[in-house]
Structure 1
Amino acid sequence: MHCPFCGADNTQVTDTRENEDGDTVRRRRRCLSCDKRFTTYERIDLKMPQVVKKNGSRTDYSHDKLLGSLSLALRKRPVTAESVDAAVDRIEAKLLSLGEREVGSERIGELVMRELKKLDKVAYIRFASVYRAFEDVDEFSEVIREVTTKPRGRPPKAS
């Protein structure tokens, strides 16, 4: 590790600590040349798949773009930041578990819709309207029926 102050590559680790989640290691270092101290962080760097867009072009996966899409759909909705972060984590875990080098943007869109449907029905409809490019009111009505239809199960208990 090079010293950020003098550029020497002769540094010593003086303290090492893991964060609470166990996914990051913090190291305090001391430069043996200039005696200044600095902190480094070590974390796992997983390779996300490339995103293949509808037009066939490829782009790097963007955590910020995924978070932004969810946040836009959830704007002014009663959903906590922690819930949104957890949804992003589930989507990213699913993408990694696919083991593919490339994934279609449609697949990511479907994963986002699945998470939004669990988080907030209004946000789900907002996202679906853009993602599926609704062209008339009937398409909106169909999605609204989809989220308002109650699953069939046992009848409610009589009191």
Structure 2
Amino acid sequence: MHCQFCHHEQTRVLDSRLIDNGMGIRRRRECLNCHRRFSTIERSQLMVVKRDGVPEEFDREKVIRGVRRACQGREVSESQLKKLAQKVEERLREKGTPRIDSNDIGLAILEPLRELDEVGYLRFASVYKSFTSADDFAREIASLRREISAEEPPAG
């Protein structure tokens, strides 16, 4: 790490702390030449490989925008959208690879969106899964109903 003041190539780390729920590290450093101190923030990059093969850095805001569009007119708050986007990013990072396919983002969105808002889920799924007919919606609704009934405890 180069010193930001004198550009000397050697610094030493005085302190390291996790930030942003473990998504980054803040390091306090000291230059071995001029002895001035400064902080750095290190973040792991999560790269998304788009359908055309072009990589770009993961953007949580894009997830929020897509889900917001699917939930337009629904009772979904901005904080709920942010929490969903955080869950999606955490799921993607759990894969342990710095590069993910854009398709994996859609898959990671589906389950938390279904839990958040079923109508938003159906809207998102219709685009993500390229529904072409009402039958596609009917199949997805039937699948959703089966999942819901399997999750409900038996009456008794």
How high is the TM-score relative to the length of structure 1? 0.63
Identical aligned pairs, as a percentage? 31
Secondary structure of the 1:113 match is helix
**Cα contact 2:16–2:27 (8 A) shared by 1:** yes
Q: Give 2:38's aligned residue.
A: 38
Structure number with the higher helix fraction is: 2
Q: Give 1:117's aligned residue.
A: 114
Unaligned stretches of 5+ in structure 1? none
**Cα contact 2:88–2:108 (8 A) shared by 1:** no
Task: Return the offset for 1:16.
Answer: 0.1
Q: CA RMSD in A?
A: 3.6
Q: Give 1:84's aligned residue.
A: 85
Pair 1:19 & 2:18 matched: yes
Secondary structure of the 2:123 match is helix
**Cα contact 1:91–1:112 (8 A) shared by 2:** no
Pair 1:151 & 2:149 matched: yes
Q: 1:117 to 1:91 in 2, by over 3 A?
A: farther
How high is the TM-score relative to the length of structure 2? 0.64
For 2:88, the aligned partner's letter is A
- C-alpha distance in 2, partners of 1:91/1:73? 21
Task: Return the offset for 1:146.
Answer: 3.0
For 2:83, the aligned partner's letter is E
Unaligned stretches of 5+ in structure 2? none
